[in-house]
Amino acid sequence: MARSADERAALADAKARLDGLQLYPRPVALRRSVRIVTAPWLFRLPWFRRFDGYTMWDLILLRAPLREVSGDLVCHELCHVWQMQHRPVAMPLSYLHRGYAANPYEREARRAVAETAPGGAASAPGGG
Ligand SMILES: [Zn+2]
């Protein structure tokens, strides 16, 4: 299934923000497999309950419909896509041995959102 117009716009906005940063050698690639899917059932599971969004490689999963989600959350999750495009093994494994809260990739994604916030205001989306 092709991306919806909302999905294309959300991904393009988030990519434009991340393209202003130089965290990795190549910009995040919006290849065909990068998708945003709303999956409320996932966020009822114990590990996922604390998140509003969660990214597995190129797949961004959201608790709420995309229209109800902030650009900051999409930016945070697309930053994880970017990380996984450059660190496909080390990044996901880091959550096993470093945990979530102090995870360096998590901090990097939060910083990416804060540094590219349109109003300059830092917010704290509940992104996984
Ligand atoms: Zn995160």
- Whole-number Å distance, alpha carbon 20 to ligand 1 midpoint, is 19
Q: Domain limits of the chain?
A: 5-116
The pLDDT of residue 69: 96
The pLDDT of residue 32: 95
- Whole-number Å distance, alpha carbon 77 to ligand 1 midpoint, is 6
- Whole-number Å distance, alpha carbon 83 to ligand 1 midpoint, is 11
The pLDDT of residue 100: 86
- Whole-number Å distance, alpha carbon 3 to ligand 1 midpoint, is 23
Counting other chains too, the contacts that 53-58 makes at CB distance below 8 Å and 24 or more residues apart are 53/77, 53/125, 53/126, 53/127, 53/128, 54/127, 54/128, 55/80, 55/81, 55/84, 55/128, 56/92, 57/33, 57/81, 57/84, 57/88, 57/92, 58/31, 58/33, 58/34, 58/84, 58/85
- Whole-number Å distance, alpha carbon 120 to ligand 1 midpoint, is 20
What residues of the chain score a pLDDT lower than 50? none
- Whole-number Å distance, alpha carbon 4 to ligand 1 midpoint, is 24
